[in-house]
Amino acid sequence: MRLLNKIAIVTGAGTGIGHAIALALAKEGANVVIGDIQEGSAKRTASEIEAMGRKSLAVKCDVRSNSEVENMIQETVEKFGRIDILVNNAGVSTMASVVDMTEEEWDYNMDVNAKGVFLCSRAVARQMIKQGEGGKIVSLGSIAGKSGSQYYAHYNASKAAVIAFTASLARELAPYNINVNAVCPGIVETSMHAREIKWTAKLRGMKEEEVKSGYLAFTPLGRLEQPEDVAKLVVFLASEEAGFITGQAINVDGGIMTRR
């Protein structure tokens, strides 16, 4: 087990990619704190981890709220004594053309996807520095943060912010032996993705099946990405095998970015 007895926090781990990441970390021996805005979902994931023989803690946390983030850190330290790994997974998306986009939509994407990464990383970095034993911070970026795409300007901007923040934080925390990296998924098959298919079909006047077929055709490996594909890379970056990797934004996208 690559992460035996490590203490990890995963935000937005009640469902989707975060859920897969939490289970993958536990499988490698980590005890995992589940931070999620939906307390019920967090508790279900925590129960699954405990059923695997690992320890877990479910904490209701809106990553946009500094007080809730600080509470999550406090509860983690009170139960486990330290933090070794942070995975900034919590994220949202909406779709709109820039000319029709509301200020609220822009702020929602930026606050969850970018500000949330800042608040959680800042709180955990302070704790890791205090511990003096290094650590791993992995944030969920996106290939959307490396390119432009119609109807996703606010989402793309928020993920670009995550990538730039990751590089900056990596330089600041390197003297403390804290590795900071981002994972950039492509088109991942989740409930969020299912909503986006409906939105895309409506905005572009297409059938949902046409949208799905387009996504498959756009992915060189010929299938939609699964949450577990992302989780495998996160586990690697959280392990000592990635001890000399920091400040990177690594694609896990089935080859989509080879088309750029």
| Residues present in the chain in total | 260
Assess if residue 101 is contained within a domain: yes
Greater pLDDT, 169 or 148: 169
| pLDDT attached to residue 121 | 99
Active-site hit among 108, 151, 152, 155: 155
Assess if residue 99 is contained within a domain: yes
Per-residue pLDDT of 10-61, as tens digits, reads 999 999 999 999 999 999 999 999 999 999 999 999 999 999 999 999 999 9
Largest CA distance in the chain: 55
143 vs 163: CA distance, rounded Å: 10
Per-residue pLDDT of 49-97, as tens digits, reads 999 999 999 999 999 999 999 999 999 999 999 999 999 999 999 999 9
Assess if residue 210 is contained within a domain: no
Assess if residue 158 is contained within a domain: yes
- Residue written as tokens 């704790």? 127
CATH of the domain at 105: 3.40.50.720
Q: Are 134 and 176 in contact (CB under 8 A)?
A: yes
Out of 109-123, 153-167, 205-219, 240-254, least confident range: 205-219
Assess if residue 29 is contained within a domain: yes
- Give the closest residue to 9 by CA, choosing from 122, 167, 124: 124
Assess if residue 197 is contained within a domain: no
Greater pLDDT, 240 or 194: 240
Assess if residue 198 is contained within a domain: no
pTM of the model: 0.94
Domain hosting 18: range is: 7-186+228-252
| pLDDT attached to residue 16 | 95
Q: Does the annotation mark 176 as catalytic? A: no
As a dihedral over the C-alpha atoms of residue 60, residue 65, residue 71, residue 73, rounded to 10 degrees, the angle is: 100
Q: Are 187 and 225 in contact (CB under 8 A)?
A: yes
The model's confidence at residue 117, banded by pLDDT at 50, 70 and 90, is: very high
Beta strands in 61-116 (DSSP E): 85-88
Give the total number of structural domains in the chain: 1
Assess if residue 112 is contained within a domain: yes
